[in-house]
Chain A
């Protein structure tokens, strides 16, 4: 990030109470403007869903939140520290690697490592990144693999699993890093309809346990059910934001109304 430290307000998570914050995020792909300065703050323990039509920039935005996409302007701020070039001894900054150790991500297409078993997929982060002993990593990993209901699949290879099972392993892999927050990017969009439920069940139980989550989804009713707050994105901007009741029962925005009407058809 190249933004001048003085140009944005000094981040202070103490006053705002936000765990993960996006400030003025702008992103272009060549001439295409995808994000037009998004501001969004997520509090610890909050579950926030981002909905919106295809191409509205919601996936790009959530990928900016852990720097898989590098914003052209704006800041990602985690616990009051701006993610950017790391200055040794400067407590106001953190590197993107450190951010990602605290903020996990689950992808639409699972992205399991096909050359590693279920267990190896899940211990990879703890062993390689956190430098935990293998024994400790296995203990942590098995805990999460059991939580997503796949303990008996620990030695299976990814290509032996159904889509729903793969996605549950991917969630366990993210959880094994014991992150402070989880980003879920359309985690059920690549699944056969009958497999969606098992993945949403896992996400719901994480919400019940107080995991901070940002969820990009097309499952509107699930979003309403599990989230405290829903953000509606349209053409690279946040077009509406509020509680599930505000957004779904009494949408004020015309575009949001049009978007929602397609789901009630």
Chain B
């Protein structure tokens, strides 16, 4: 019978906190970059420009139809060989996570925008608004409300997906479990502690997402 002992784990709590911090940084960083890039991809899809749309769609499908772990390994190990440059692990991790997020966010944004009734943009146009004014003042405010639950959901997934960067030695929360395990030979406790930390951070966020969704439905 295995006897649990969390005492050695608690002694390494500073490592876990550092790891959690790194995980948060990669999550927020890749969400921010993914948001900007995702918006660009979304507008490229909606632009009505053939080649631009084709390129954006190609990008999306490439990153949506291959596993994130494979993307991470490919960008860290294969891409530097092709380009003949050195890509540090933190840069490969941030780039991959951001591109992956962008591919999914773009679809969330696009879905939100096209779900807004065409009559809304026509009503804006009919009072003389420009295409950009219609997008910014009429379509986007409604679309953002509608895409919020899917956006939060995708961001929660993004937070958990950062755990994969540990395979290229980025010192995130999951990586720290490996480190602590090496020091203490307590793998069960180390991974349990990590699981608890992920949960403690994400649970309030998913609850918040539920509240947002309820309020949004009440608003419509």
Smallest distance from the beta carbon of B127 to chain A beta carbons, Å?
A: 4
B138/A113 in contact, CB under 8 A: yes
Whether A111 touches B128, Cβ cut-off 8 Å, given contacts A124-B137, A128-B137, is no
Smallest distance from the beta carbon of B132 to chain A beta carbons, Å?
A: 11
> In the complex, how many residues of chain A place their beta carbon closer than 8 angstroms to a beta carbon of chain B?
25
Contact of A174 among B119, B124, B126, B145 (CB under 8 A): B126
Q: Within 8 Å of chain B (Cβ to Cβ): is A114?
A: yes
Smallest distance from the beta carbon of B86 to chain A beta carbons, Å?
A: 49
Of the listed stretches A8-16, A47-55, A73-81, A96-104, name the one at the interface; the rest are far from the partner chain: A96-104
B123/A100 in contact, CB under 8 A: no
> In the complex, how many residues of chain B place their beta carbon closer than 8 angstroms to a beta carbon of chain A?
19
Smallest distance from the beta carbon of B109 to chain A beta carbons, Å?
A: 17
A115/B142 in contact, CB under 8 A: yes
| Residues on B with beta carbons closer than 8 Å to the beta carbon of A177 | 127-128
Interfacial residues of chain B within 190-220, with CB under 8 A of chain A in the complex: 220
Q: Within 8 Å of chain A (Cβ to Cβ): is B130?
A: yes
Bound CA span A127–B145, Å: 24
Q: Within 8 Å of chain A (Cβ to Cβ): is B120?
A: yes
Q: Within 8 Å of chain A (Cβ to Cβ): is B91?
A: no
Smallest distance from the beta carbon of A86 to chain B beta carbons, Å?
A: 13
Bound CA span A100–B126, Å: 6
A125/B127 in contact, CB under 8 A: yes
| Residues on A with beta carbons closer than 8 Å to the beta carbon of B122 | 68, 107, 111
Bound CA span A20–B125, Å: 18
B127/A174 in contact, CB under 8 A: yes
| Residues on A with beta carbons closer than 8 Å to the beta carbon of B137 | 124, 128
Interfacial residues of chain B within 125-150, with CB under 8 A of chain A in the complex: 125-130, 133, 137-138, 141-142, 145
| Residues on A with beta carbons closer than 8 Å to the beta carbon of B119 | 107, 109, 111
A100/B142 in contact, CB under 8 A: no
Bound CA span A130–B129, Å: 9
| Residues on B with beta carbons closer than 8 Å to the beta carbon of A170 | 123
| Residues on B with beta carbons closer than 8 Å to the beta carbon of A104 | 126-127
Q: Within 8 Å of chain B (Cβ to Cβ): is A129?
A: yes
| Residues on B with beta carbons closer than 8 Å to the beta carbon of A112 | 123
Please give me the 8 A-B residue pairs with the lowest Cβ-Cβ distance, nearest first.
A125-B127, A111-B123, A111-B119, A101-B128, A105-B126, A129-B128, A100-B128, A115-B141
Further 7 A-B residue pairs, CB within 8 A, beyond A124-B127, A174-B127: A68-B122, A97-B128, A101-B128, A111-B123, A113-B120, A114-B142, A128-B133
Residues of A at the B interface (CB closer than 8 Å) are 66, 68, 97-98, 100-101, 104-105, 107, 109, 111-115, 124-125, 128-130, 159, 170, 173-174, 177
